[in-house]
Amino acid sequence: MSAALQVPALFAKLGRRIPPPLVSMHCVAALELARRFKWLLPPQELDGRSFAITVEDLGLRSCFAVRDGAFRPVWNGAPSDLELGAKLADLLSLMRAETDADTLFFQRRLRISGDTELGLIVKNWLDAAPRPTWLQRSGAASV
């Protein structure tokens, strides 16, 4: 899928100009919506932990935390416990369960830094999370 979705470099330049709190607010709104529909319920081990996701080819970085089982934006710019970064196509492939995190990581298409134990918890959680039907690509295997 990566070869099919190439984002123009101009978008990355524009994306880096968008304030991270604005990006975080939108990302957290999507995560909260998924949580409320029970598509993505964070495990207890994530409570009180902070995360950053960077969409590298768009230049977008979102920072958030899990507090009391809910996703909340992080505004202060403090370092995150776990940082994930990948291109848009790879993140979409991961969300659709077309590719697993291990494959992306070992192909150097998923960058992970920070707390390695937390990274393993997040990986196992995302691998086990059911995908809503609309997110699954037609013909893709169900998780």
> Can you name the CATH fold of 9-135?
Nonspecific Lipid-transfer Protein; Chain A (3.30.1050)
User: Residue 77: is its pLDDT beyond 90?
Assistant: no
Edge to edge, the sheet with strand 110-114 lists 70-73, 60-67, 50-55, 82-86, 110-114
Q: How far is CA 84 from the centre of its chain?
A: 7
pLDDT class for 1, splitting at 50, 70, 90?
A: very low
pLDDT given for residue 42 in this prediction: 94
Contact of 93 with 123, CB cutoff 8 Å:
no
Q: What's the pTM value of the predicted model, to 2 decimals? A: 0.81
Which of these, 45, 41, 95, lies nearest to 70 by C-alpha position? 41
What is the DSSP pairing of strand 82-86 with strand 70-73? unpaired
What is the DSSP code (8-state) at residue 51?
A: E
Helical (H) or strand (E) element with 36: helix 20-36
